[in-house]
Amino acid sequence: MNSTLLQALYEDHIRQRQLLDKIETELRKFGDDHAVPDLELIVLALKYCVDYPARYHHPVEDVLYARILEKQPGLRDTLDKALQDHEVLARLTASFATAMAEMIGGAPRYKALAAGERFISMFRRHMETEETKLFPSARDSLTPEDWDSIDAELKLPDDPLFGENIRDAYLALHRRVLAGSR
Ligand SMILES: [Fe+2]
Ligand SMILES: [Fe+2]
């Protein structure tokens, strides 16, 4: 088994959860008129949440899930749902970012709060399904040859999407968000 790719996906989830926790801490302040939420932290965290899953994490999972489906057709419903989740998550993230921009422009807090809560709960539920059902299934059913061909599919020499420098840029943004938290 090639555990490197799976390990990277698990590590992405750990980072994503850290950001969701930080965002949630700030969102809780939205219900208190005397509290001062760190809006910059939310906006920066959202930048990571908009870009990184769309450019790196979800494309990797999409390839992985297509391969699991070949091995385990019985998982089709769960896999289809996970793939749909990626699109729903992209929409919820964009809606939250828009609601935040409107709130910073003067709109009341409750819309951003509701959009943020939807975004956080969907993200957490999706990652839990992946970690309890899909990642273990990948670990159990894929052969070393499967992992090699997935790797080959992802690491196209001319594809800047999966270059280490791109990933490093997002990791730096993630660290910056955490360093900026109060
Ligand atoms: Fe996913
Ligand atoms: Fe994931």
Residue 38, domain CATH? 1.20.120.520
From the CA of 124, how far away is ligand 2's center (Å)? 10
From the CA of 130, how far away is ligand 2's center (Å)? 6
CA 113 → CA 24, 44, 120, 141, 164, distances in Å? 10, 17, 11, 41, 35
Whether the per-residue pLDDT at 126 is higher than 70: the answer is yes
C-alpha 22 chain-centroid distance: 14
Range of the domain at 36: 3-179
CA distance 106 to 110: 12
Which of the two residues, 14 and 153, has the higher pLDDT score? 14
From the CA of 130, how far away is ligand 1's center (Å)? 7
Q: How confident is the model at residue 141 (pLDDT cuts 50, 70, 90)?
A: very high
Among 50, 54, 22, 16, which Cα is nearest to 38's? Answer: 22
Q: What is the mean pLDDT of residues 117-123?
A: 97
Res 2: pLDDT: 56
Which of 14-18, 78-82, 115-119, 151-155 shows the lowest per-residue confidence on average (mean pLDDT)?
Answer: 151-155
Contact 23, 47 (CB under 8 A): no
Q: What is the mean pLDDT of residues 117-129?
A: 97
From the CA of 56, how far away is ligand 1's center (Å)? 11
To the nearest whole percent, how much of the chain has pLDDT over 90? 69
From the CA of 36, how far away is ligand 1's center (Å)? 32
- b/e map 6-19, b = 16+ CB within 10 Å: beebeebbebbeeb
Which of the two residues, 73 and 32, has the higher pLDDT score? 73
Res 163: pLDDT: 62
Number of domains the chain contains: 1
The residue written with tokens 């819309």 in the block is 111
Ligand nearest to the CA of 15: 2
Q: How confident is the model at residue 1 (pLDDT cuts 50, 70, 90)?
A: very low
Q: Is the pTM of this model over 0.85?
A: yes
Among 79, 88, 163, which Cα is nearest to 129's? Answer: 79
Res 153: pLDDT: 86
Whether the per-residue pLDDT at 179 is higher than 90: the answer is no
The residue written with tokens 């059913």 in the block is 141
CA distance 26 to 173: 18
From the CA of 146, how far away is ligand 1's center (Å)? 19
